[in-house]
Amino acid sequence: MEKGLKRAGNSVFREYVNKKLIEHRAEELLLKHIEKIISEIVLKLGQLNPVSKFKKMASPTNIIDAVFLLEKNRNDGIIGAMEELQNTYPSFQFVLTGPWPPYSFVEITLK
């Protein structure tokens, strides 16, 4: 060991690193769970042939922000699928709004 360095059992730095590691692992678990839910949404809505976009962790209380572009005659299908998901995940709150104009699917690239 170099002169002046001591091996600390519980230092402020160790506590900080351990805290960050625990936070990182919790976030990884949450993101894995979010991926599972997104997969289920895609599976349930697959027969509706939607164009979709997902944002993960949109806010501290909104873990998934998803938009779907569907044909007008497919509204009933998405309502049924969302009801099934709500029953599968009763601790989550699924909010369904629309129909909306397809502005969310326009991507503009400025040069």
Phi/psi for 46 (5° steps) reads -55, -40
What's this model's pTM, rounded to 2 decimal places? 0.62
38-49 pLDDT per residue, tens = 888 888 877 777
Instruction: Name 102's Cβ contacts closer than 8 Å, sequence gap at least 6.
Output: 69
12-33 pLDDT per residue, tens = 788 888 899 999 999 899 889 8
- Look up residue 96 and give its two tokens: 């369904």
The residues spanned by each domain of the chain are 12-105
User: What pLDDT does residue 9 have?
Assistant: 64
The overall average pLDDT reported for the chain is 80
| pLDDT above 80 for 101 | no
